[in-house]
Chains A and B, each alone.
Chain A
C-alpha cells in the first residue's frame, strides 16, 4: 500500500517549495477561471476568451521588451483588446466572430514583431516557450498577493453582476426590458474575463488559460441545470485537473524518454478534455435512464 502510494505520489511532492507555490497559484487561478468560465461558455465567448489570452502573449512579449513586469503587460493589453472587441461590435453573433478575429490578428502581428525584435536586440529566444506555454513551476511566491488580488477583482465583478448577467445571457431583450444596461453589463464582464485570462496567461500559459476557462465550465454545464451549481462544479473540476496535472508532472520526472519531466500543460489539458468527455457520457447515461 505504502509502495503504491509512493508510486503515485513521488516522495517530496508536498514538501517541495516550488510545488507548494505552483499548487497555490495554480489553484487560485483554476478556481477563478472555472467560475468565470461558466458565463464565457453560456455567452458563447470561448473565442473571445481564447483571443484575449493569445493577445495577452503579445502584451507579455512587449512588456518584456520594454523591461516592465510581464503581468502588467498581460493585464494592460488584455483589457485594451477587450475594449476594442466591445467597440467593433460584440452585439451581433457573426459580427462578434469577425471582430474577435481581426483584433486577434492585430495582436498576433504585434506579438511576432516584438518577439522578433526581442530576439534580435536582446538575444533572448528562451522567453518564447515560457510566454507561449507558461510554466507554473518557475513562479515565485512574490506573485501570490498580486495574483490573488486580481483574481478577487475578477470574481467580485462577476459575482456583483451575477443576476443581470445571467438574465442578459438568457435574453438581452428581456434584461433590457427590466432596466438592465445590457451593454454595460457585457463590457464589465468582458473586463473581468480579460483580467482572468491575463492571470492565467502569466501563471499557467496561454494554452491552459483557454483550457481551464472553457473545459471545466462546459463539462459542468452538461452535468447540472442550475447556474450557480454549474459555477461551483466548474471551479471544482478546474481545481482537480490542475492539481492532478501538477502531481503527474512531478511524477513524470522519472518517465521516459528524457527523464526531465513532461510539461504540466500537457497533463492538465488532457485531464480537462477527459473530464469534458466523461461529463458528456455521464449526462447521456442520465437521460437514457431518467
Chain B
C-alpha cells in the first residue's frame, strides 16, 4: 500500500486534502457549495479538451477551472450567483461533451477523470501539486482577514473590492480543483470541500480552529478513502463521498449532544 507509485498518490492526496479542507472552510462560510461543485465538474471539459489537442491533463484542468472561476465571478456581478454558477457549469459541460465527441476518448478514461484514479498518479505530478498547494496556502494566509470579514458580512466593502475578494475566493477553488482532480475525480472534490468544513463548523465556533479542524478531517477522509480503495479496488470517489457524509453526520450528532 505504501510502495512504489502509491507513495506519489499519498503525497499528492495529502496535499490536496489539506488545501481542499482549508478552502472548504470559506466555501461553507460563504454558502458557496454550488460553486465548489461547479468549478471541478466543469473543469472536466478541460481534461477532455487537453486530451484532444494532446496537452497535459493538468494544464487543461487548470485553464478550465480558472476560466470557470472567472465566468462565475463576472456573470455573477449582474445576476443571481446560483444562476451564474449553473449557466457557467452547463456551458463548460457542453464544451466537454463536444470535446468528447471529437476525440476517440474511451469511457474508462472519462470514468477515471470523473471519479478518480489514485493508481494513475505519477511522480511528475508531485512538482505541480507542491507548487499549487503552496500558492493556495499562501493566498489563504494573505487573504484570511478580508475573506473572513466578507464572508461574515457580505457586501460591506466597496464594489470593486468585493469583486476582487470574490474572484480571489473563486481562484482558490480553481487551484484546489486543479490539484485534486487526479486523486478524487471531478465529481467528488466538492465533498472534500464541503463535508469536512461543515463538520468543523458544527464542532467549534472559533474560525481559526475551524479551518485547521476542517483540513484535518479532510486529510483523514482522504487517507481512509485511499486505504479502503486500495484494499477493495472500489473507486476512491465512493469512499471520499461516504466518509465525508459520515463525518458530517457524526459532527451533527456531537453538536446536538453537546446541546448546541
Touching chains A and B, CB distance < 8 Å: yes
Say yes or no for A133: interface residue by CB 8 A criterion. Answer: yes
Given contacts A102-B245, A109-B245, A272-B87, contact A47 B237 (CB under 8 A): no
**Which one of B156-164, B173-181, B190-198, B211-219 is at the interface?**
B190-198
Interface of B is mostly: helix
Residues of A close to B234: CB separation below 8 A: 113, 116
Say yes or no for A203: interface residue by CB 8 A criterion. Answer: no
Q: Would you give the 0/1 interface string for B30-64, flagging 1 where the beta carbon is closer than 8 Å to chain A?
A: 01111011000000000000000000000000000
* Contact across chains for B245 and A105 when beta carbons are under 8 A apart: yes
Say yes or no for A258: interface residue by CB 8 A criterion. Answer: yes
* Contact across chains for B235 and A116 when beta carbons are under 8 A apart: yes
| Nearest A residue (CB) for B240 | A109
**Which one of B9-17, B99-107, B118-126, B137-145 is at the interface?**
B99-107
Given contacts A125-B108, A280-B79, contact A110 B238 (CB under 8 A): yes
- What's the minimum C-beta distance from B61 to chain A, rounded to whole angstroms? 18
| Nearest A residue (CB) for B197 | A98
Given contacts A116-B235, A218-B87, contact A258 B102 (CB under 8 A): yes
Q: Would you give the 0/1 interface string for B218-244, flagging 1 where the beta carbon is closer than 8 Å to chain A?
A: 000000000000000011011111101
Residues of A close to B108: CB separation below 8 A: 119, 125
* Contact across chains for A97 and B34 when beta carbons are under 8 A apart: yes
Say yes or no for A9: interface residue by CB 8 A criterion. Answer: no
Complex CA–CA separation, A102 to B80 (angstroms): 22
Complex CA–CA separation, A52 to B249 (angstroms): 20
Residues of A close to B98: CB separation below 8 A: 262-263, 266
Complex CA–CA separation, A210 to B110 (angstroms): 21
| Nearest A residue (CB) for B103 | A258
| Nearest A residue (CB) for B82 | A46
Q: Would you give the 0/1 interface string for A36-62, flagging 1 where the beta carbon is closer than 8 Å to chain B?
A: 000001001111011100100000000
Residues of A close to B102: CB separation below 8 A: 257-258
| Nearest A residue (CB) for B194 | A101
**Residue in contact with A115 in the complex, picked from B34, B91, B115, B240, CB distance below 8 Å:** B115
- Output the residue of A94, A207, A215, A270 with the most chain B CB within 10 A: A207
Q: Would you give the 0/1 interface string for B57-88, flagging 1 where the beta carbon is closer than 8 Å to chain A?
A: 00000000000000000000011101101110
Residues of B close to A214: CB separation below 8 A: 82-83, 86-87, 90
Say yes or no for B248: interface residue by CB 8 A criterion. Answer: yes
What band does the interface of chain B fall in when counting residues whose beta carbon is under 8 Å from A? 35 or more
* Contact across chains for B114 and A106 when beta carbons are under 8 A apart: no
Residues of A close to B107: CB separation below 8 A: 125-126, 128-129
Complex CA–CA separation, A97 to B106 (angstroms): 34
**Residue in contact with B87 in the complex, picked from A125, A132, A215, A268, CB distance below 8 Å:** A215
- What's the minimum C-beta distance from A102 to chain B, rounded to whole angstroms? 6
| Nearest A residue (CB) for B242 | A109
* Contact across chains for A46 and B115 when beta carbons are under 8 A apart: no
- What's the minimum C-beta distance from B86 to chain A, rounded to whole angstroms? 4
Given contacts A50-B34, A104-B37, A280-B78, contact A263 B97 (CB under 8 A): yes
Given contacts A128-B111, A270-B91, contact A105 B194 (CB under 8 A): yes
Given contacts A105-B191, A112-B115, A262-B101, contact A41 B83 (CB under 8 A): yes
| Nearest B residue (CB) for A257 | B102
- What's the minimum C-beta distance from A203 to chain B, rounded to whole angstroms? 15
- What's the minimum C-beta distance from A54 to chain B, rounded to whole angstroms? 8
Complex CA–CA separation, A218 to B80 (angstroms): 9
Say yes or no for B171: interface residue by CB 8 A criterion. Answer: no
Say yes or no for B22: interface residue by CB 8 A criterion. Answer: no
Say yes or no for A276: interface residue by CB 8 A criterion. Answer: yes
Complex CA–CA separation, A105 to B245 (angstroms): 7
Complex CA–CA separation, A57 to B106 (angstroms): 19
Say yes or no for B28: interface residue by CB 8 A criterion. Answer: yes
* Contact across chains for B97 and A265 when beta carbons are under 8 A apart: yes
**Partner-A contacts on B (CB < 8 A):** 28, 31-34, 36-37, 78-80, 82-83, 85-87, 89-91, 93-95, 97-98, 100-102, 106-108, 110-111, 114-115, 185, 187-188, 190-191, 194-195, 198, 234-235, 237-242, 244-245, 248
10 of the cross-chain contacts (CB-CB < 8 Å) are: A46-B83, A50-B89, A98-B194, A98-B198, A100-B34, A101-B191, A109-B191, A126-B107, A128-B110, A273-B90
